[in-house]
Amino acid sequence: MSAYVISIIFLLVLLTAGCVPSQGTEGQGGSKLITFAPFILIFALFYFLILRPQQKQQKHRKDMLVSLKRGDKVLTAGGIYGKVVNIDGDELTVEIAKGINVRMSRSGVSGVEEIKGEKKS
């Protein structure tokens, strides 16, 4: 996708560069805005294609970590599936096998598995 984004940015720069008047002495009134137009377009494109989706993803992860509760089936960052047995602030106790509990941080959870028949919002 990055090659696609770079080609769009390059195309926008070429299109807006054709709109810039020559550097002669006439018509200097609005040329500063037109000169900065490619940079404004690049920033807007960068924001909508990279920054905004990343912010949404971070918000979704934060909401998921805050909404953890006992009984949730989770996937840890290490790739281990388990069930949340106890929550104490930022610390979770996750049962990864019968009788085997692991203490871990909330940030170590990479996903919550949906239980069949229930839908998470």
Is the pTM higher than 0.95?
no
3-state helix, strand, coil in the chain (%, to 5): 45, 25, 30
**CATH code for the structural domain at 69-113:** 2.30.30.30
Round to whole Å and give the CA distance between 27 and 33: 13
Domains of the chain, by residue range, sit at 2-65, 69-113
pLDDT in tens, 52-111: 999 999 999 999 999 999 999 999 999 999 999 999 999 999 999 999 999 999 999 999
